[in-house]
Amino acid sequence: MIGVVIKPMNSSSLRIGSFTIEKTLAFQIWISIFHVVGIVGLYLEVSRPLFQLLTPFHLLMCAGILLYFHTDWSRSFWMFLLASFGIGMIAEIVGVQTGLLFGDYSYGPVLGLKLAGVPLIIGINWFILAYASGQLAANWIKSPLIAAAAASLLMVVLDFVIEPVAITLDFWNWQGGEIPLGNYIGWFLVAFLIQLIYQNLPLVRENQISTYLLLNLFLFFAILIFLL
C-alpha cells in the first residue's frame, strides 16, 4: 500500500512523502484551491445548499490558518482577540435587536448557532477581518491612528463586496431588500474602535499568510457577485 505522509521538516518547510515544499507556499496553494472550490460549489445550484452550510467551517479554517502563522501569543494579543470578537458580537446583537448601528436586518439559518439572533461565527469573522486588515495597514503606515482609519476603510470595502453575496446566499437579509448607507457607516465606526485597540496594543504585527488570505477572501466574494 502506498501512503502519503506529511512531516514537518523545520519551521519553514513541509515534507509530503518525498516531496518538500515551503510551508507558506503550501498554505497559499491550499487557500487558493479552497476558495476556488468554494466559488464553484456556491455557483452550481446542485451543490449550493451544502456549501452554504459549510460557510462557518470555511471561516473557522481561515481563523485557524491565521492563528497557525501568528507569532505573538502575549496577553496583548489575547486582549485583541477577545475584544474583536466581543465588540463585533455586541455590535451585531445591538444591530439585529434594535436596528441601530447598521440598519434593520436579520440573519438566516445557514451560519450556525446563534446568540440573541447573531451567529457566533460572525464574531470570528470580525476577528479575521480586523486582524488581517489591521496588520496590512500597520505594515504600511506608522501612525496608529491613521493605520486604524485605513484598516477600517479596508474592512468597509470588504463588507461592500460581501453584502450582495451574503444576501443571495441567505446569510442575512435587509428589511426592504436594500442595503442602507448607514450599514457602511456603522461598519466603519465599529471597525475603527477595534482597530484603535489593535494598532495601539504592544503587538508583534507579523503574519506570513494574512495578506494573502485577505486577498483571497476579497476575490472570492468579488467573483461571486458576478456569478450569483
**How far is 122 from 103, CA to CA, in rounded Å?**
17
pLDDT exceeds 70 at position 5? no
* pLDDT number for residue 17: 65
Provide the pLDDT confidence category of residue 9 given band limits of 50, 70 and 90: very low
pLDDT digits (tens, 9 = 90+) for 43-73: 999 999 999 999 999 999 999 999 999 999 9
pTM of the complete model: 0.92
Count the Cβ atoms, other than its own, within 10 Å of residue 137. Answer: 24
Q: Which of 48, 91, 69 is nearest to 191 (CA)?
A: 91
Provide the pLDDT confidence category of residue 11 given band limits of 50, 70 and 90: low
Mean of all residue pLDDT scores within the chain:
93
Provide the pLDDT confidence category of residue 8 given band limits of 50, 70 and 90: very low
Provide the pLDDT confidence category of residue 149 given band limits of 50, 70 and 90: very high
Mean pLDDT of 203-215: 95
